Chain A
């Protein structure tokens, strides 16, 4: 279990950091091509929008794995350990259900629906912006299962 989490963590870290750096390079090129070379790139805007959606979706999923999405804990802090555990598992179950229905099913349908639609300028199927949603769904399901597993072993605290 630990190994799966480690591989997933590292993979996603590498992916997101690379996207971040790529986005900086492309944005800089957008400014430079226009201001310095007087030949504005017409594709950078569309590329950056795509990259933003990919970075956002995957980083949302990564944060689920780290259990760091912000929530209100004023009330849950006051509960005893048993109830805290129940609610924590409940939250993971909601994550799984949400991923399954909205991200995987909904995102999948959006992907197939937009196969015949072109993302302007790039001239590739618009599905390119819905695929990361499905991907995020799959990652969240895996992470949430891992989170549940580590919750059920109270001696072994969360790795993170």
Chain B
């Protein structure tokens, strides 16, 4: 049964995908077609409806629209510009400083918003045109922005870890956040390293004129934005709110910041920001709801057991198992967005890695890291598409400049995969 089922699942998904059907609908329809292998058609349809709602009926998921909203507010509220100025102070003296500023800016924006897409649009939206003016190739400036945007998915707070905690049946979100911070910083450092090498070889020596930056004012303006990090971490550590509730507090603070402190958002623009956030919520929630149906479709046709047997049949050595899973996830990431991939593949893969003695927190971090790469690889990659739009460059033209970034990021992936202590050190140290 599973062979027919998996064939139907994969074929129908790809056919629908290629003819341009929205990805959420591709996932849902191919799920129904797969469920039909195991159940009568009316029950298959009904179960799909039920599973879509069940996929949304979770308190943990509340963090998703809230992070979207706070990211959109920060985007529209000019927080990006303040962070960019601050990032210039940190990276302004290095060759290719604008690209570095972009990367550091993406990491900082990622650290305060739960949304990586918001980072690449707001920071990249400022930095990429600036780089072009300074004589950077558009492809390079765009690639640096795209490659570093996913750091926001690893540096807390992040929706990706919330989804993993949900799919893994209650892994500690705080521990994932702590481990993800290290992974995200390593990713960012890798990007800085590549940008440095390229900038040097191409002779992008433009340095930002730091003497003309009003340093005191720059820091003063960035402090309220960066204070969000303190507020969220402090609130969680002091037991005031949970990591999920923190997403709502984050919205509340961002509203205060943009409407009262910076006064960059008024009542009218609040309305349009809310509408933007509603749209992003609709896009992502369709994916998540449909993923829940696909997860069911796979389970009812017995796919998880087949995959587990195939992987464990190959070897029970954790090194090999992790390597196989790494490549499996890289392939999955090419075709699937990170949210659905986490929801669909965690229940399948987690029991396998647990069996060979891998820590669920460690696995969560490498899984999210791996699938984050997928957001910037073709053919399906939200980060790649959006980044290309910002760079006003065709996706095809960005692949070559992205190559060195891919290689270094992949190297970091192998590093954190095989040296668990790198990412587990911080959560353990914090007693999480």
- A49 engages B57 (CB within 8 Å): yes
Interface residues of A in 89-107 (CB under 8 A from B): 90-91, 94-95, 98, 101-103, 105-107
- Which B residues are in CB contact (< 8 Å) with A24? 66, 248, 251-252
B52 at the interface (CB under 8 A from A): yes
Cα distance, A105 to B46, chains bound together (Å) = 8
- A71 engages B278 (CB within 8 Å): no
- B275 engages A31 (CB within 8 Å): no
Identify the 8 closest CB pairs spanning chains A and B, nearest first: A106-B49, A27-B248, A63-B282, A59-B282, A69-B22, A56-B285, A76-B20, A17-B274
- B65 engages A75 (CB within 8 Å): no
B132 at the interface (CB under 8 A from A): no
B378 at the interface (CB under 8 A from A): yes
- Which B residues are in CB contact (< 8 Å) with A61? 282
- Which A residues are in CB contact (< 8 Å) with B278? 13, 16-17, 20, 55, 59, 62
- Which B residues are in CB contact (< 8 Å) with A103? 49
**What is the predominant secondary structure among interface residues of chain A facing chain B?**
helix
- B395 engages A74 (CB within 8 Å): yes
Cα distance, A60 to B298, chains bound together (Å) = 24
Q: How far is the CB of B119 from chain A (nearest CB, A)?
A: 18
Cα distance, A57 to B278, chains bound together (Å) = 11
Cα distance, A59 to B287, chains bound together (Å) = 12
A141 at the interface (CB under 8 A from B): no
- Which B residues are in CB contact (< 8 Å) with A53? 53, 56-57
Of all chain B residues, the one with the shortest Cβ separation from A130 is B53
Cα distance, A94 to B251, chains bound together (Å) = 36
Residues of A in contact with B, size category: 35 or more
B5 at the interface (CB under 8 A from A): no
Known interface pairs A17-B274, A23-B65, A71-B22; A129-B49 also in contact (CB < 8 Å): no
Bitwise interface map of B from 54 to 73 toward A, beta carbon under 8 Å scored 1, else 0? 00111101100110010000
Known interface pairs A13-B275, A75-B18, A109-B46; A56-B23 also in contact (CB < 8 Å): no
Cα distance, A3 to B57, chains bound together (Å) = 34
- B245 engages A110 (CB within 8 Å): no
Partner among B61, B240, B283 whose Cβ is within 8 Å of the Cβ of A31: B240
- Which B residues are in CB contact (< 8 Å) with A98? 25, 28-29
A123 at the interface (CB under 8 A from B): no
A73 at the interface (CB under 8 A from B): yes
Partner among B23, B249, B277, B282 whose Cβ is within 8 Å of the Cβ of A71: B23
A43 at the interface (CB under 8 A from B): no
B48, B53, B65, B337 — which one has the most chain A CB atoms within 10 A of its CB?
A: B53
A1 at the interface (CB under 8 A from B): no
- Which A residues are in CB contact (< 8 Å) with B271? 17
Of all chain B residues, the one with the shortest Cβ separation from A45 is B59
Partner among A17, A21, A95 whose Cβ is within 8 Å of the Cβ of B275: A17
Q: Beyond the given A17-B274, A73-B20, A98-B29, could you list 20 further A-B residue pairs with CB under 8 A, ordered by the A residue number?
A: A16-B275, A17-B271, A21-B274, A27-B248, A28-B252, A31-B248, A31-B249, A35-B240, A52-B58, A53-B53, A56-B281, A59-B281, A60-B282, A75-B20, A98-B25, A102-B32, A105-B49, A130-B49, A133-B52, A133-B53
Known interface pairs A27-B245, A75-B18, A106-B45; A94-B25 also in contact (CB < 8 Å): yes
Cα distance, A24 to B23, chains bound together (Å) = 29
Bitwise interface map of B from 1 to 44 toward A, beta carbon under 8 Å scored 1, else 0? 00000000000000011111111110011001000000000000
- A70 engages B248 (CB within 8 Å): no
Cα distance, A88 to B45, chains bound together (Å) = 24
Q: How far is the CB of B384 from chain A (nearest CB, A)?
A: 11
A118 at the interface (CB under 8 A from B): no
B379 at the interface (CB under 8 A from A): yes
B289 at the interface (CB under 8 A from A): yes
- B59 engages A66 (CB within 8 Å): no
Bitwise interface map of A from 122 to 160 toward B, beta carbon under 8 Å scored 1, else 0? 000000011001000000000000000000000000000
Known interface pairs A63-B286, A91-B22, A94-B25; A20-B378 also in contact (CB < 8 Å): no
B241 at the interface (CB under 8 A from A): yes
- A60 engages B285 (CB within 8 Å): yes
Cα distance, A56 to B241, chains bound together (Å) = 24
Cα distance, A56 to B68, chains bound together (Å) = 12
- B49 engages A55 (CB within 8 Å): no
Of all chain B residues, the one with the shortest Cβ separation from A48 is B62
- B282 engages A28 (CB within 8 Å): no
Known interface pairs A17-B275, A59-B282; A23-B249 also in contact (CB < 8 Å): no
Partner among A52, A72, A74, A107 whose Cβ is within 8 Å of the Cβ of B56: A52
Q: How far is the CB of B21 from chain A (nearest CB, A)?
A: 6
Of all chain B residues, the one with the shortest Cβ separation from A31 is B241
Q: How far is the CB of A126 from chain B (nearest CB, A)?
A: 10
B205 at the interface (CB under 8 A from A): no
Q: How far is the CB of A6 from chain B (nearest CB, A)?
A: 14
Cα distance, A63 to B276, chains bound together (Å) = 10
- B283 engages A70 (CB within 8 Å): yes
Of all chain A residues, the one with the shortest Cβ separation from B242 is A31
